[in-house]
């Protein structure tokens, strides 16, 4: 048991780089705390939603089944992508097999790493749901039974996902290449996200404001809840154990966990090691094929090289390009799936929106806010130098002005940021009939915000790039610069919004907008002039 705990702690530190005695470990802890603070509003929203449902409706069993099904989907979503990363593509198996520990201990130590992450993620829903259940007047025995379900509810889905990937990666070697795996799962994630977005759009018109409407819909359409309980077959027993204080249902839930755990053990014992030892990570060096060399500007050549590297490297494409496109696609799909969208379109078609409001001004402000949001999602500029890795010295000595190299890199981030922003014009035009040339105001606002965010991200990554990485995926996913970019961009948005709450500036909105725009332009000019010098000095010190 001591060896198991020691091995689990070692794997936890190596996978999450969480060594509290190191500088990076402390930084990770601080970032995690900041992210938790950012999630507090979402936790509050979940609490209010569940509390309203528990207090006003006498349908505790139905509400718990719905809540646990949400947790099941959340666990399923994360485990589908996390399990292969920890079990197959962590590049530590060859080192672990020479240790004086059994393969079974290695397997379950890795599973513990996955399970801890899934359990902590599930608390985002279970914690506010438990708090709401307590405040709604639950019995002490029901609260105790609820607490017993907390570690169990995510175990069965985690085991099932593990069984799925062990079988797939054993008998379909195509997925054993990390680059192909990241690319395909990235596309699948967009498809799943779009599907979830469409489903949430169908119910979002009523469920947030009135939880009773959602419960009523499930009562009138029992096949919907039946489908959820068929997917997550442990949910009905967990819910009945809490509401009815049923020891039998609790034991059935435990038996389900034991059976799925046993199947996972058998699959991992006979199938895992064979496929895991042959799984291939991302190659650290890639050959660049040049079909032809065209006489063109050095800036455009450098931009094109970076662009091809970004879209042709599966790890970069899935983690930067696709991840930045998921959010706008979901928003578009959710909007198009809203039940009352057709009625709203008919009503707004009778109104000349350009005569009611200063439409270019609001489009400009909307573009600016959207630009800050989507500009910080893709992480392209925030990993510009980190993606170069050990090739940074090459950048410093090639016969191309360093400021032009930076301009090419930041242009790449701006291009994909603007692409995400422009996608949002689709639902806007579906709802509001106005001349298309008004979109220029939106694009200008988004461009200005994208310039600020991407220049700032480039500066952050240039000062402290993540140079030492095992593969391309770790250069993105284990890079705190992406988090710093996101936090910095949202800090700017908060600073911009504070005057609206402290002062009545709506009457002077156009002047405030002009002032903010001038400040941003000055900030961009300063970063453009002094940024290359600061970054160059920092990179030379690091190299």
Q: 518-542: per-residue pLDDT in tens?
A: 999 999 999 989 988 898 888 887 6
CA dist., res. 354 & res. 245, Å (int)? 60
Express as a percent the part of the chain with pLDDT over 70. Answer: 78
Residue predicted with more confidence, 487 or 2: 487
- DSSP class of residue 289 equals P
Mark out the alpha helices in 424-479 (DSSP H runs).
425-431, 439-463, 472-477
Report the candidate in 426, 424, 497, 419 with the shortest Cα–Cα distance to residue 454.
419
CB of 275 closer than 8 Å to CB of 166: yes
CB of 463 closer than 8 Å to CB of 535: yes
pLDDT in tens, 72-81: 888 887 888 7
- Lowest pLDDT segment from 34-38, 126-130, 138-142: 34-38
The confidence score (pLDDT) of residue 282 equals 52
Q: Which tokens belong to 178? A: 């990390």
Task: Summarize the confidence of residues 312-329 as an average pLDDT.
Answer: 78
The confidence score (pLDDT) of residue 292 equals 42
Q: Which tokens belong to 527? A: 């970063």
Contacts of 16 (CB under 8 A, 6+ apart): 28
Report the candidate in 541, 522, 521, 331 with the shortest Cα–Cα distance to residue 445.
521
Express as a percent the part of the chain with pLDDT over 90. Answer: 17
CA dist., res. 66 & res. 60, Å (int)? 10
Pick the most confident of 31-40, 144-153, 370-379: 144-153
* No. of helices (H) and no. of strands (E), the chain: 26, 0
HSE of 20, CA atoms in CB hemisphere, 13 A = 4
In this structure, what is the dihedral angle of CA atoms 89, 95, 100, 105, given to the nearest 10 degrees? -10
Tell me how crowded residue 159 is: count the other CB atoms within 10 A of its CB.
24
| Cα 420 → chain centroid | 15
Task: Summarize the confidence of residues 370-392 as an average pLDDT.
Answer: 86
pLDDT at 213 over 60: no
- The backbone region for 389, taken as left when phi is positive above 0, alpha when psi lies in -120 to 50, beta otherwise, is left
CB of 426 closer than 8 Å to CB of 332: yes
Q: Is 343 helix (H, G, I), strand (E, B) or coil?
A: helix
The confidence score (pLDDT) of residue 225 equals 55
- Lowest pLDDT segment from 17-31, 62-76, 233-247, 286-300: 286-300
CA dist., res. 131 & res. 135, Å (int)? 6
CA dist., res. 361 & res. 514, Å (int)? 10
CA dist., res. 360 & res. 348, Å (int)? 18
Pick the most confident of 105-119, 449-463, 527-541: 449-463
Tell me the pLDDT band of 478, cut-offs 50, 70 and 90: confident
CB of 253 closer than 8 Å to CB of 234: yes
Task: Summarize the confidence of residues 335-356 as an average pLDDT.
Answer: 70
Mean pLDDT score across all residues of the chain:
79
The confidence score (pLDDT) of residue 195 equals 60
The confidence score (pLDDT) of residue 192 equals 66
The confidence score (pLDDT) of residue 522 equals 94
In this structure, what is the dihedral angle of CA atoms 269, 275, 277, 283, given to the nearest 10 degrees? -150
Please give the model's pTM, rounded to 2 decimal places.
0.64
The confidence score (pLDDT) of residue 289 equals 44
Exposed/middle/buried for residue 179 (C-beta within 10 Å: 0-12, 13-18, 19+): buried
Q: Which tokens belong to 244? A: 């009815």
In this structure, what is the dihedral angle of CA atoms 188, 218, 242, 138, given to the nearest 10 degrees? 120
Q: Which tokens belong to 132? A: 């709401």
In this structure, what is the dihedral angle of CA atoms 78, 83, 89, 90, given to the nearest 10 degrees? 90
Residues 477-513: b if buried by 16+ CB within 10 A, e if exposed? ebbbbbbbbbebbeebeeebeeeeeeeeeeeeeeebb
pLDDT in tens, 482-512: 888 888 888 888 888 777 777 777 778 888 8
CA dist., res. 230 & res. 537, Å (int)? 59
pLDDT at 85 over 70: yes
Residue predicted with more confidence, 288 or 102: 102
Tell me the pLDDT band of 269, cut-offs 50, 70 and 90: confident
The confidence score (pLDDT) of residue 204 equals 47
- Lowest pLDDT segment from 187-191, 375-379, 406-410, 425-429: 187-191
Task: Summarize the confidence of residues 55-73 as an average pLDDT.
Answer: 82
Tell me the pLDDT band of 108, cut-offs 50, 70 and 90: confident
pLDDT at 258 over 80: yes
Contacts of 452 (CB under 8 A, 6+ apart): 372, 375, 489, 492, 520, 523, 524
Domain boundaries, the chain: 2-182+223-276, 308-542
Exposed/middle/buried for residue 212 (C-beta within 10 Å: 0-12, 13-18, 19+): middle
CA dist., res. 345 & res. 342, Å (int)? 5
Residue predicted with more confidence, 39 or 426: 426
């Amino acid at each position: 048991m001591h060896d198991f705990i020691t091995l689990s702690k070692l794997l936890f530190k190596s996978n999450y780089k969480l060594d509290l005695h190191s500088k990076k470990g402390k930084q990770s802890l601080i970032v995690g705390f900041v992210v938790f603070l950012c999630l507090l509003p979402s936790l509050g929203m979940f609490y209010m939603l569940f509390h309203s449902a528990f207090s006003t409706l006498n349908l505790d069993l139905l509400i718990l089944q719905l809540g646990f099904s949400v947790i099941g989907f959340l666990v399923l979503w994360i485990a589908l992508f996390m399990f292969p990363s920890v079990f197959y593509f962590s590049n530590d198996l060859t080192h672990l097999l020479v240790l004086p520990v059994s393969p079974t201990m290695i397997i379950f130590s890795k599973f513990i790493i996955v399970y801890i992450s899934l359990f902590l993620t599930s608390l985002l829903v279970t914690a506010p749901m438990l708090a709401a259940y307590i405040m709604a007047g639950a019995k002490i025995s029901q609260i105790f039974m609820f607490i017993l379900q907390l570690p169990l509810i995510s175990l069965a889905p985690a085991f099932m996902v593990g069984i799925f990937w062990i079988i797939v990666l054993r008998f379909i070697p195509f997925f054993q290449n990390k680059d192909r795996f990241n690319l395909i799962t990235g596309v699948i994630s967009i498809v799943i996200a779009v599907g979830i977005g469409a489903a949430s759009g169908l119910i979002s018109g009523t469920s947030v404001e009135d939880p009773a409407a959602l419960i009523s819909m499930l009562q009138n359409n029992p096949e919907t809840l039946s489908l959820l309980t068929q997917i997550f077959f442990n949910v009905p027993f967990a819910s009945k154990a809490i509401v009815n204080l049923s020891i039998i249902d609790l034991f059935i839930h435990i038996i389900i966990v034991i059976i799925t755990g046993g199947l996972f053990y058998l699959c991992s014992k006979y199938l895992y090691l064979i496929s895991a030892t042959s799984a291939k990570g991302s190659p650290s060096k890639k050959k660049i094929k040049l079909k032809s060399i065209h006489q063109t500007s050095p800036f455009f050549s450098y931009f094109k090289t970076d662009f091809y590297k970004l879209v042709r490297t599966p790890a970069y494409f899935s983690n930067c390009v696709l991840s930045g496109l998921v959010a706008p696609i979901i928003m578009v799909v959710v909007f198009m799936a809203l039940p009352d969208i057709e009625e709203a379109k008919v009503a707004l078609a009778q109104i000349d929106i350009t005569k009611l409001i200063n439409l270019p001004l609001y489009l400009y402000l909307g573009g600016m806010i959207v630009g800050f949001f989507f500009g910080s999602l893709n992480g392209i500029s925030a990993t510009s130098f980190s993606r170069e890795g050990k090739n940074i010295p090459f950048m410093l000595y090639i016969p191309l002005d360093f400021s032009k190299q930076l301009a090419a890199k930041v242009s790449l981030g701006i291009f994909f940021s603007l692409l995400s922003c422009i996608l949002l014009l689709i639902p806007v035009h579906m709802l509001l009939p106005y001349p298309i040339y008004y979109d220029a105001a939106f694009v200008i606002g988004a461009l200005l915000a994208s310039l600020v965010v991407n220049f700032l991200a480039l500066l952050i990554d240039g000062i402290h790039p993540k140079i030492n990485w095992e593969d391309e995926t770790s250069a993105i996913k284990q890079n705190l610069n992406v988090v710093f970019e996101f936090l910095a961009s949202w800090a700017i948005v908060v600073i911009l919004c504070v005057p609206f709450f402290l002062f009545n500036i709506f009457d002077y909105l156009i002047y405030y907008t002009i002032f903010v725009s001038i400040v941003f332009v000055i900030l961009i000019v300063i970063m453009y002039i002094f940024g290359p010098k600061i970054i160059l000095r920092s990179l030379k010190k690091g190299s």
